[in-house]
Structure 1
């Protein structure tokens, strides 16, 4: 397959992660000024923590998060298949509060479109309802906005808001992490819901493919690959959280391992990631090669086959790995080390 002469980056595909980080620094200041005594977390955590009883250490904690599906929606719209992106949305939000140590209580959605198409709405909500049922989470309500002139024909956007429950003594806490702790990875099911601006540019502009194009390297069509459902890790990880076997965890979303794993570590500690420990899925190899994407961009744009990383004390690694076998095995991807930042060692597999 042909490739571009000049390598693609996430920035020239339209997404500037560095600009987002700069904006977030200012947003943190604005949000912090609104904090009340019930707030237990800083902006930038995977989920926000709030308690109704700040003085009671045994009081339950509400954990909330909001997210969207991003330009994966474009692929769904191109394919005319809308039943999976609603599931993506719920699973993404469930994972974000799971890494705080919370189980989901209820979910709300926001759907905006140029012209409401009932069959599309039904498909979207059926996906959300299916995922909510799996997690014992109520689809409590939402908002549908019809905005002609703002969205083009067939276009829509989707966002979700989740609230979960945790207890302060069971919250996953990065301050419990120590140098020498193991990093246990769980595989992703594909791109999940991140990096689609760059992926779409590679598949549809560089390679000139369509959603129906069969790609031998992927053993499926482009649409089938790009619409794989964002995996939920709740069934695999929640029992480990309840058993006290996990210190901290990171959901590997936008920003990849370099930007997400440090959110699960104390500021003075970093991570060493062994590239030899896993085989990178074919879709990422194809994007890298066809788009001539620099390695730094690959690592900060995509999960590269790693959907979640658990920080586990050495004494519990055996138990964690044996329990994960029931849900699709995990593996030791690296360890916690002194000094901030993420370092990659070894040769990439595949």
Structure 2
């Protein structure tokens, strides 16, 4: 089926959301048992980790780990936000740079200024959105005890009704004022991270058909696509294959040319793998260190592959760092653990 579909259903007793693009599973969000990214805590500094520049914190949901803690002493209270899912047996990763995200706006405490996403290029539309932002935020939007609030108008606001955008900005600013002014007291969960259905509404803003009927995963091919994603094999354009296999230490990606015996077979398979990799990692919920064992590729063609890889990840919503080539000719990525692993 051509076009985009957003499907809201459940996998067993877990809330889930799927994005289908031209009949192919493009993204998958599944509710988990661990605190979701975006959850905000009032935490208490527990003990520093010597040599790592970090500190363990106490929260109502267990231990959290905060990097870059210069000037923080054990016993102090602070506000932190969960940034991703932890590896098994490790503390939750958190940050003190708290963001309040909604469909049209991101409110940024401690980073004043009104900005519009660079994804919106029409100057008249940018001026319209900035005018709405100024009218809604006003002067001194931080409020007593909350510090200065900044605002980023998101790409999803382009073309939206002014009243809806203003309401969204006002709601996020009010939430930010209340939370940032509530730093004192025992460790407590202040804001629950968004679930899959709310995340789908917040982040999948391109035009799409929304289906929320019970059992829509089965009737629209999502269940079948999820079953296929549980395996490592990913078919590539041109007849090659890619295998994506998570281990405890890293995610291993192996690229094969298949039956193509031409001189350019390696480059073609590797470019096809570059284009398919962001979706394969999103759907499987994989992050951390990713190592690509590519099909045979001469050094003179590495730049072509890198360009294709960077272009493929440009629109991917999960933060990914390109670490480069290893002495053995593998390519490494470092990817944020922003998804619950499908496994």
* TM-score, length of structure 1 as denominator length: 0.24
Larger RCO, structure (CA 8 Å, separation 6 or more): 1
Structure with greater Cα Rg:
2
Q: TM-score scaled by structure 2?
A: 0.24
User: Larger % of strand: which?
Assistant: 2
